[in-house]
């Protein structure tokens, strides 16, 4: 099952791998496959395309950057059983790593993808050479999380036009200029049989139903057990990760480093991709052995 037909102009995935339970996972890659592997995982409601700028920078620097759509998102399959918990997403990550034939990788994750990366590294389920968490930590601000949920669940009946889609995105991201060219929205929606535009993700993906108190305890335990070089990146305008939440993470993981990106909200890479790209390259160049892993 999917949200509908892909719009013309939507980039085809470069690769497709099999995740947990055989779910097809769509991905793109940049750079030399012989370089250090860097895996990029997007946030809920995003796609692999959120990492295109960062992936190109990493590839040009000699890394092998791989981004993939989480199950239920973008060009990846929707889970037949509606399973979208963090454990199954960690298993998808492990399946992609196994398919790439590289046991060790630097993990970069935003929001949902950051939680998956933190569990994978903190519980020793993936051998991480480095970890970069983008606007996510064990403690999140529920008002911000609720705003993300409201954005993702609006207009379940579908949008009448791409103009409506652009308005919805602009309302959620007021710090960005509203799109004038709507062609780029093809990656975000699908055209249903009834002529309505719907978001690309499976509506059964409902992280708002998670037990956030239990999740916070788990992620805190993961943070305490991190042994790889770790960088936390926060958007200074974020309403999901607060400064207090960032400080708590750094107390749990004293060896971690921290970057606060000015003029960026929760979607840090999309808001200030230039600053974000420079920060991750500076970190990875120091902590990941160039020319190997």
How deeply is 147 buried, as exposed, middle or buried, from its count of CB atoms within 10 A (0-12, 13-18, 19+)? Answer: middle
What domains sit in the chain, N to C, each tagged with a CATH number? 9-141+211-287 (3.40.50.1820)
Question: Are 93 and 68 in contact, with CB atoms under 8 Å apart?
Answer: no
How far from 198 is each of 22, 189, 201, 216, 242, CA to CA, in Å? 25, 5, 8, 31, 31
Q: For the segment 125-160, what is each residue's pLDDT rounded down to a tens digit? A: 999 999 999 999 999 999 999 999 888 888 889 999
For residue 176, the 8-state DSSP code is: S
Pairing of strands 189-191, 37-41: unpaired
Q: For the segment 62-77, what is each residue's pLDDT rounded down to a tens digit? A: 999 999 999 999 999 9
Report the mean per-residue pLDDT for the chain: 93
Q: For the segment 192-205, what is each residue's pLDDT rounded down to a tens digit? A: 999 999 999 999 99
Q: For the segment 242-254, what is each residue's pLDDT rounded down to a tens digit? A: 999 999 999 999 9
Of 82, 75, 81, 52, the residue nearest 273 (C-alpha) = 52
């Amino acid at each position: 099952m999917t949200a509908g037909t892909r719009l013309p102009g939507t980039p085809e995935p470069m690769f497709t791998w099999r995740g947990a339970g055989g779910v097809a996972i769509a991905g793109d890659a940049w750079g030399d496959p012989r370089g250090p592997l860097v895996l990029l995982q997007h946030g809920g409601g995003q796609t692999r395309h959120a990492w295109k700028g960062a992936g190109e920078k990493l590839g040009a620097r000699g890394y092998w950057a791989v981004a993939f759509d989480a199950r239920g998102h973008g060009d990846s399959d929707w889970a037949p059983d509606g399973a979208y918990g963090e454990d199954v997403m960690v298993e998808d990550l492990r399946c992609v790593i196994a398919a790439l034939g590289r046991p060790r990788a630097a993990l970069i994750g935003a929001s949902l993808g950051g939680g998956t990366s933190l569990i994978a590294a903190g519980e020793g389920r993936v051998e991480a050479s480095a970890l970069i968490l983008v606007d996510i930590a064990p403690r999140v601000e529920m008002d911000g999380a609720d705003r993300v949920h409201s954005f993702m669940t609006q207009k379940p009946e579908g949008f009448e036009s791409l103009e409506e889609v652009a308005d919805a995105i602009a309302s959620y991201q007021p710090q960005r200029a509203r799109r004038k060219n709507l062609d780029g929205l093809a990656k975000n929606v699908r055209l249903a049989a009834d002529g309505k535009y719907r978001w690309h993700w499976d509506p059964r993906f409902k992280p708002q139903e998670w037990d956030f108190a239990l999740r916070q305890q788990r992620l805190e335990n993961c943070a305490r057990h991190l042994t790889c070089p770790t960088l936390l990146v926060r958007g200074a305008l974020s309403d999901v990760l607060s400064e207090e939440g960032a400080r708590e993470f750094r107390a749990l993981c004293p060896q971690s480093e921290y970057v606060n990106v000015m003029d960026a909200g929760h979607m840090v890479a999309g808001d200030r991709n230039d600053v974000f790209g420079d920060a991750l390259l500076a970190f990875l160049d120091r902590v990941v052995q160039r020319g190997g892993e």
